[in-house]
Amino acid sequence: MKVHPSFLVSDYLLWALVVAVLVYVVYVCKNRHLLESWSLIAKNSITMVAVVVFCFYFFICLLDSIHLRIDSKSYSRDQVSVLDLVLPSHMVQSETTYSAPLSQSLYVKSLLSDHAGNSYRGHALLLGNKARLSTKSLRIRQSLLILEGVIIGLALGLFCHILFLIIFSYKKNISIWSCFNNIWQGKTRFALKSFWLTMFGCFIVLSVMFLLSINYHVMGTTQVGVDVLYETLKSIRTGIVIGTFTTVFMLPFALVLGSMAGYFGSIYDDVIQYIYITLSSIPGVLLISAVILVMQVYINQHAELFPTVSMRADIRLIALCIVLGITSWATLCRLIRAETLKLKQMDYVAAAKTQGVKPISILFKHILPNVMHIVIITVVLDFSSLVLAEAVLSYVGVGVDPSTFSWGNMINSARLEMAREPVVWWPLLSAMLVMFGLVLSANLLADSVRDAFDPKH
Amino acid sequence: MISYIIRRIVYAIPIVIGVNIITFMLFFMVNTPDDMARMYLGDKHVTPSAISRWKHDQGYDLPLFYNSDASAIGHVTDTLFFNKSLDLFTFNFGSSSQGRDISHDIWQRMWPSLALAVPTLILGLMVNLSFALLIVLFKGSYIDTFFSIVTVIMMSISGLFYIIFGQYIFGKILMMVPISGYQDGLSSFRFLLLPVVIGVVGGIGMGVRWYRTIFLEEMQKDYVRTARSKGLPEFSVLFNHVLKNGSLPIVTGIVVIIPSLFLGSLIMESFFGIPGLGSYTLDAISQQDFNIVRVMVFIGTLLYILGLILTDIVYAFVDPRIKIGA
């Protein structure tokens, strides 16, 4: 068995983003005014919860962004990510069709044969279930697993907590016990109590899910037998990629053009304003659908450039990010232009001008750092609406590739499932819950980021 | 006033032309008629003659900008740009890939779209405004906290969920309203009830928060302090002063979307089977009917720009500080 990395374009971009974020963190630590704004965010307990939850999502996304190719027969798909390897193998395997959450057999009846060779119609057992159990004993088994998961989750959390306490108390030069007391009585500068409560919660949820997934499908399976929880977890990456890259792709254009329009004025201003008004007057969905249709034709014609299905899906995902960026950059550009107009009147800009500093370096040294708060607010604010937009676009059919795992695709198929008799509700519920968690934490985070950075609030 | 409106319209012309050129480039240069034919006829087993026949039937077998084979004025007029793109300005939309008259379709499908969009807008406005006023009136109390949490949660739920869940509960389980479909006339009420309610409920999260921010921003202004120091009760401060002044951004925010109401809502209409322009566009996208998509892009742009112009005019009417002549 040979393992070699095979990164997709969006993987490289995601890891580049991680590096950029780390660089920014270092930069923030060196600047006191930025550090103060950010620590304002860390003081709010609700925000702390949101941050922790968001980090868990992002962690799953990162695990899912290391793609490998394994030359062996056991994996049917061309590429696997580290997430596939970490998750229980039962989750990655496929059943034949629908099964309800935590059940031991399929949801629909099929033709079976018993030991004597007589065929009858019944619910076939799922993979990993050797004998049919009574509902009661099945539930008892699962409850024991849940209990086990809670204990393991608590243990994991405690381990991290103690590790943290040791390091923290060593650094602050206080005893471990008083450090513990400070945190749980809420006497710390940051909202560490809610931080650790959320950490424990996340650890427990993850370990319960993990233990249950070894033998059961926690959220059931889809029509083609894929584990719903697995599909939902894989969709996190799609959601986060769209939520972040859309803004990241448009940032350079909005920043450069917006500040140029504001600073140089006259003909630059007219041309740039014309460009963004024109682009923003095309209805968003229609522009996106036009570009995705065009992209589809391009991919079909240049099939040799994208040998695997996942590469094709990946390039479409990036195209979607770019076109979403085109439809939404006008707002940011307008804001930056207005802010630059204001900053241009500032004394320090006038001082730099009289000293003969070149306009380019004024833009980079004096204007750009001072419009950065708008950029940060926009990046965080847009995230949640973009994740929601992905779902809608995939429903319309101009979103991500149908082969990509995404909440939009899941909801799209859920529409028919809700009309089935008996109803199949778990894919919809699962997609909605996990998506809700991500969007809610992003929204809460966005609120406090805006409060911290927006001078108007 | 009239000269102001005329000037605003003149400003809009280069934008419309720009959009026209962009859509032309998207649909004819990046995505050539050959691609369209292949997309329409299928990727494989297509003979070149079938493609050229399709192109000829659709009128796509012309050069892009300049036709050297034609004579005199035909150099310019017998081109794709002239026939397909500039024709939009005369509201001659041609026919769809299936051969249906697009203008006729649009005219017919506009009314169901309006029947859905207008009540949603009005009801939504009323609901959002009342909640926002309630929150601002009880600022800092438990009602404020409660509604703030509820609106964040409502905002974080995907709109698709409201639709699917609403259809399931009210259409399938309770059977109060039909799940989807449409009829003309008064009986349309039955079909429109659920989508309107869902549209309003789905918009509460965003809308209430937006209006709340507007009102809270107004509340910090000096005239509010003056009114309070005069001893006015909070209720009348809110309704007589803040609501009046806050209505400026609200009115302009609504006026800009009024023309776009004609386009309808893509998602709502397709989920509820309402034969409006939204579902028309969606069908065109899924059938890859470039003619219709192109026309809808053009109309959408026109309506958006119309909205911008209307906003400016309304702004000038509502806010006496803005001098039109200047």
State ipTM: 0.82
Q: Residue B326: pLDDT band by 50, 70, 90 thresholds?
A: very low
| pLDDT tens digits, B44-56 | 666 777 777 777 7
Rounded Cα–Cα distance for residues A431 and B164 (Å) = 13
| pLDDT tens digits, B151-181 | 999 989 988 888 888 888 888 888 777 777 7
Record: contact B300-A432, CB cut-off 8 A = no
Say yes or no to pLDDT of A211 above 90. no
Q: Is A116 helix (H, G, I), strand (E, B) or coil?
A: coil
- Structural contact between residues B297 and A286, judged by C-beta atoms closer than 8 angstroms: yes
Q: Which long-range contacts (CB under 8 A, 24 or more apart) does B258-261 make?
A: B258/B121, B258/B307, B258/B310, B259/B303, B259/B304, B259/B306, B259/B307, B259/B310, B260/A283, B260/B300, B260/B303, B260/B304, B260/B307, B261/B113, B261/B114, B261/B117, B261/B118, B261/B121
Q: Does A443 touch chain B (CB under 8 A)?
A: yes
- Structural contact between residues A397 and B281, judged by C-beta atoms closer than 8 angstroms: no
- Structural contact between residues B194 and B230, judged by C-beta atoms closer than 8 angstroms: no
From chain B, the residues in CB contact with A391 under 8 A are 158, 160
Q: Does A287 touch chain B (CB under 8 A)?
A: yes
Paired tokens of A131: 């004998």
Record: contact A411-B161, CB cut-off 8 A = yes
- Structural contact between residues A411 and A389, judged by C-beta atoms closer than 8 angstroms: no
CA nearest to B168, candidates A325, A418, A271, A323 = A418
Rounded Cα–Cα distance for residues B267 and B117 (Å) = 12
pLDDT computed for residue A238 by the predictor: 92
DSSP labels for B156-207? HS-HHHHHHHHIIIIIIIS--S-SS---SGGGHHHHHHHHHHHHHHHHHHHH
Ordered strands of the A80-81 beta sheet? A2-5, A67-71, A80-81
Rounded Cα–Cα distance for residues B194 and B200 (Å) = 10
| pLDDT tens digits, A412-428 | 888 788 877 778 888 88
pLDDT computed for residue A154 by the predictor: 92
Tell me which of B24, B151, B164 to substitute to probe the interface with A (most A C-beta atoms closer than 10 Å). Answer: B164
State mean pLDDT over A394-400.
81
Helix residue ranges per DSSP H, A216-308: 228-264, 266-281, 284-301
Angle at B275 between CA B199 and CA B268, to 5 degrees: 20
Q: Which residues contact B144 (CB under 8 A, 6 or more apart)?
A: B135, B138
Say yes or no to pLDDT of B71 above 70. no
Say yes or no to pLDDT of B86 above 50. yes
Closest residue in B to A415 (Cα–Cα)? B164
CA nearest to B116, candidates B254, B270, B255 = B270
| pLDDT tens digits, B315-325 | 777 777 766 55
Pick the CATH number of A228-453 from 3.40.718.10, 3.40.50.720, 3.90.1150.10, 1.10.3720.10: 1.10.3720.10
Q: Does A368 touch chain B (CB under 8 A)?
A: no
To the nearest whole number, what is the mean pLDDT of chain B?
81
Q: Is A126 left (phi over 0), alpha (psi -120 to 50) or beta?
A: beta
Helix residue ranges per DSSP H, chain B: 2-24, 33-41, 48-58, 74-77, 80, 102-137, 142-156, 159-166, 188-219, 222-229, 234-236, 243-255, 266-272, 277-287, 290-318
pLDDT computed for residue B261 by the predictor: 83
Closest residue in B to A447 (Cα–Cα)? B152
Say yes or no to pLDDT of A456 above 80. no
Tell me which of A327, A395, A415, A440 to substitute to probe the interface with B (most B C-beta atoms closer than 10 Å). Answer: A395
**How far does A72 lie from chain B, in Å, by closest CA?**
33
From chain A, the residues in CB contact with B155 under 8 A are 384, 443
Record: contact B300-A283, CB cut-off 8 A = yes
**How far does A436 lie from chain B, in Å, by closest CA?**
6
Say yes or no to pLDDT of A57 above 90. yes
Record: contact B172-A301, CB cut-off 8 A = no
**How far does A441 lie from chain B, in Å, by closest CA?**
9
Question: Where is mean pLDDT largest: A199-203, B3-7, B28-32, B51-55?
Answer: A199-203
Q: What is the 3-state secondary structure (H, E, C) of A292-347?
A: HHHHHHHHHHCHHHCCCHHHHHHHHHHHHHHHHHHHHHHHHHHHHHHHHHHHHCCH
| pLDDT tens digits, A234-273 | 999 999 999 999 988 888 889 989 888 888 878 888 899 8
| pLDDT tens digits, B87-103 | 677 777 777 767 778 88
pLDDT computed for residue A55 by the predictor: 92
Rounded Cα–Cα distance for residues A383 and A60 (Å) = 17
Candidate from A73-82, A121-130, A360-369, A429-438 with smallest mean pLDDT? A73-82
Closest residue in B to A283 (Cα–Cα)? B300
Record: contact B158-A414, CB cut-off 8 A = no
Amino acid in the structure at residue A301: Q
Paired tokens of B213: 């921010």
Rounded Cα–Cα distance for residues A449 and A20 (Å) = 19
pLDDT computed for residue A375 by the predictor: 87
CA nearest to A440, candidates B277, B265, B150 = B150
Q: Phi and psi (nearest 5°) for A114?
A: -90, -170
Record: contact B43-A286, CB cut-off 8 A = no
Candidate from A236-245, B54-63, B99-108, B285-294 with smallest mean pLDDT? B54-63
Q: Which residue has the tokens 């003081």?
A: A43
Measure CB to CB from residue A397 to each of B39, B168, B285 and give the nearest one: B285
Rounded Cα–Cα distance for residues A322 and A328 (Å) = 10
Closest residue in B to A433 (Cα–Cα)? B157
Residue, of A121 and A161, whose pLDDT is higher: A161
Residue, of B101 and A200, whose pLDDT is higher: A200
Closest residue in A to B271 (Cα–Cα)? A415
Work out the burial of residue A1: count CB atoms within 10 Å of its CB; fewer than 13 is exposed, 13-18 middle, 19 or more buried. Answer: exposed
**How far does B286 lie from chain A, in Å, by closest CA?**
7
pLDDT computed for residue A312 by the predictor: 83
Q: What percent of chain A has pLDDT over 70?
A: 97
Rounded Cα–Cα distance for residues A285 and A323 (Å) = 10
Record: contact A428-B297, CB cut-off 8 A = no
Q: Which DSSP symbol is given to A97?
A: S
CA–centroid distance for A353 within its chain: 44
pLDDT computed for residue A434 by the predictor: 92
Tell me which of B23, B41, B161 to substitute to probe the interface with A (most A C-beta atoms closer than 10 Å). Answer: B161
Candidate from A320-334, A372-386, B69-83, B283-297 with smallest mean pLDDT? B69-83
Say yes or no to pLDDT of A75 above 60. no
* Chains A & B: contacts with CB separation below 8 Å: 116
